[in-house]
Amino acid sequence: MHIYAMTKSVKSRIEKRIGQALKCPVCGRPIEVGQQVVTFTKRNVRIKVYHKKCYEKLLLEI
């Protein structure tokens, strides 16, 4: 798990790797440059990117 502000270069690398625009799986809104995000990778293949606020809400629901 990594928490950081999304940069243009990181966003373009991830989008190129997954082949589509980044969206938060919780709220469905696009991930924009400059937003605080939380990322997860699973076996260096699958990447999940959440808005930090959405991820915190998700943890509170559990």
pLDDT tens-digit series, residues 5-45: 999 999 999 899 889 999 999 999 999 999 999 998 887 77
Fold of domain 2-61: Herpes Virus-1 (3.30.40)
The one-character DSSP state at 37 is E
> Would you list the domain boundaries of the chain?
2-61
CA distances from 23 to 5, 16, 49 (A): 15, 14, 7
Farthest CA pair distance, the chain: 33
**pLDDT for residue 18:** 84
pLDDT of 48 higher than 80: yes
